[in-house]
């Protein structure tokens, strides 16, 4: 709702705060998968940086990896095959985060 601006203007910091809380309250890797993938996407989104969200491809990579694990468990053990597309997004997101990390290394940027 806040990320897409459904109830008004998009509020990415508010969306991030809610996803952070959801991630913190999750009891299992499968419960963490959904907020993890949303947070990861946000941490490497140029529009999010413009909204005050810190660019952090290393954290995004970690979150995409956690999302992949949780989604694989949901698909294989819980029969949630409808998460295949989301799983592919987590895999592709890892590649994107790695590429951004390589660019940061090449350009001498520091990560917080």
Model pLDDT for residues 17-46, shown as the tens digit of each residue: 999 999 999 999 999 999 999 999 999 998
Q: Which tokens belong to 101?
A: 């990390």
What confidence score (pLDDT) does residue 108 get? 58
Model pLDDT for residues 34-79, shown as the tens digit of each residue: 999 999 999 999 888 888 999 999 999 999 999 999 999 999 999 9
Is the predicted pLDDT of residue 4 greater than 50, yes or no? no
The band of 3, judged by pLDDT with boundaries at 50, 70 and 90, is low
- Separation of alpha carbons 70 and 65, rounded Å: 9
- Separation of alpha carbons 6 and 1, rounded Å: 5
Q: What's CA 9's distance to the chain center, in Å?
A: 21
Query: What pTM, to 2 d.p., does this model score?
Result: 0.85
What confidence score (pLDDT) does residue 12 get? 84
Nearest to 53 by CA among 8, 10, 5, 106: 10
- Separation of alpha carbons 27 and 32, rounded Å: 8
Angle at 65 between CA 60 and CA 66, to 5 degrees: 100
Q: What is the mean pLDDT of residues 80-94?
A: 97
What confidence score (pLDDT) does residue 47 get? 86
- Separation of alpha carbons 89 and 52, rounded Å: 24
Is the predicted pLDDT of residue 2 greater than 60, yes or no? no
Angle at 32 between CA 89 and CA 58, to 5 degrees: 60
What confidence score (pLDDT) does residue 109 get? 58
């Amino acid at each position: 709702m806040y990320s897409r601006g459904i109830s008004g203007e998009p509020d990415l910091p508010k969306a991030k705060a809610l996803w952070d809380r959801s991630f913190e309250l999750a009891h299992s890797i499968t419960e963490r998968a959904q907020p993890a993938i949303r947070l990861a996407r946000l941490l490497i989104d140029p529009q999010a940086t413009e909204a005050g969200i810190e660019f952090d491809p290393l954290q995004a990579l970690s979150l995409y990896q956690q999302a992949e694990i949780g989604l694989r468990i949901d698909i294989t053990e819980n029969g949630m095959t409808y998460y295949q597309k989301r799983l592919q997004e987590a895999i592709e997101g890892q590649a994107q985060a790695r590429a951004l990390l390589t660019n940061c290394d090449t350009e001498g940027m520091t990560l917080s």
